[in-house]
Structure 1
Amino acid sequence: MSLRNAYLLVFIVLLVDQISKIYVKTNFILGEEVEVFNWFKIHFIENEGMAWGTQIPGAYGKLVLTLFRLVAVGGIGYWLWDSVERKHSSNYLIVAIALILAGAFGNIVDSVFYGVIFDDSSSQLATLFSSEPYGRYFHGKVVDMFYFPFWSGNLPQWLPIWGGRDFTFFNAIFNVADVAISTGVGILIVFNKKAFHKH
């Protein structure tokens, strides 16, 4: 795959990611949910940290996380360029890196810019390019919306640890960028030998 096509894939994923986030952010109030099917819902939340809401504690935790993401994206971008330029990398590897880069970059856009271009979503529909933004640069919240609660119920008492508790499978809420990252990592795992095969 050429570098141009790899960048085109990154651009398409990033565009879809940002369109979906801006649509949800400007048409849903925080916590609002729309049922598409009984196993698929659009549920608007904002994530202040890493995956599953993980956060770095402290006053500068969010800034540290955003700066780390920027460095990581720079490294992934170089990995993509290097893999294409050396002309020995498989398309599996190039597609996987492009997807991971697009996903990481998509969530960085939220972290860097959303705090200064949107107002608060907790009790109103957010306004794009608001005159009263909810935060500042590098302190934005990542928008998540895809929710697939395939099964909800009470687990049997005989199960160790979780027995008798309410349980939902699958209870993570995520976005297009997260899907791209997960797909890229999945390609590297499932097609490991093909991805890292050298011609």
Structure 2
Amino acid sequence: MAKTTLPKQSKSSGVRGTLAPWLGIAVIVILADQLTKIAISRMFSYGEGRVVTPFFNLVLVYNKGAAFSFLAAAGGWQRWAFTALGVVAAIVIGYLLKRHAGQRLFCTALALILGGALGNVIDRLMYGHVIDFLDFHLSSSHWPAFNVADSAITVGAILLVLDELRRVRGSR
């Protein structure tokens, strides 16, 4: 009986080095983000809002700054600075995904952040601002409007914290 041997997998072709699932998550985030922004932009005029629940509205607003409109009135340079920051973040995240592809929670978090960052970079490049439309509020106090990309970045950041807490507890 002949002995059969399976070819050895190289480090880059094994589960550890595959980027496909993580890039897939990022692409899903980008598509969801861009499709919702297109839909809102077609259904609403700038500044127009619609009540959905007692604590949530849809409203079309533009953000030329960063989170919470930070530096929105800075004169235009922030568009390119935040675009460059998003691209650099995407490159670093790509490297981390490749290097740690076997760490599910960590890579899921990074993939969400990657998709969100690139979703907002696309807006900055195409329109010069980020399209926001999710408006949560309590009575007359409104949280700054945000979008699907921002949500993915936030969930990704929370998952990074959880992953680190899990890692620290596991090392005790």
What TM-score does the superposition give when structure 1 sets the normalisation length? Answer: 0.70
What TM-score does the superposition give when structure 2 sets the normalisation length? Answer: 0.80
Q: Which of 57, 64, 68 does residue 52 from structure 1 map onto?
A: 68
Partners of 2:117 and 2:167 lie apart in 1 by 20
Aligned length: 153
Q: Which of 89, 95, 106 does residue 78 from structure 1 map onto?
A: 95
**CA spacing shift, 1:18–1:59, aligned 2, 3 Å:** closer
**Match of 2:65, SS?**
coil
Identity percentage over the alignment?
31
Partners of 1:195 and 1:19 lie apart in 2 by 36
Q: Which of 86, 95, 116 does residue 69 from structure 1 map onto?
A: 86
Counterpart code for 2:110: I
> Greater Rg, structure 1 or structure 2?
2
| C-alpha contact 1:91 1:195 (8 A) present in aligned 2 | no
- Structure 2 match to 1:135: none
Q: Is it true that 1:146 corresponds to 2:134 in the alignment?
A: yes
| C-alpha contact 1:69 1:108 (8 A) present in aligned 2 | yes
Identify the structure with the greater helix proportion: 2
- Structure 2 match to 1:133: none
Superposed CA RMSD in Å reads 2.1
Counterpart code for 1:26: R
Shifted more, 4-13 versus 94-103: the winner is: 4-13
Q: Which of 2, 27, 42 does residue 26 from structure 1 map onto?
A: 42
| C-alpha contact 1:93 1:195 (8 A) present in aligned 2 | no
TM-fit CA distance, 1:173: 0.8
Structure 2 unpaired stretches of 5+ = 1-14
Deviation per CA, 1:108-146: give whole Å up to 9, x if none.
Answer: 000112x3xxxxxxxxxxxxxxxxxxxxxxxx1100000
Deviation per CA, 1:14-35: give whole Å up to 9, x if none.
Answer: 1110000011112211110011
**CA spacing shift, 1:195–1:93, aligned 2, 3 Å:** farther
| C-alpha contact 1:33 1:42 (8 A) present in aligned 2 | yes
**CA spacing shift, 1:195–1:144, aligned 2, 3 Å:** farther
TM-fit CA distance, 1:152: 2.0
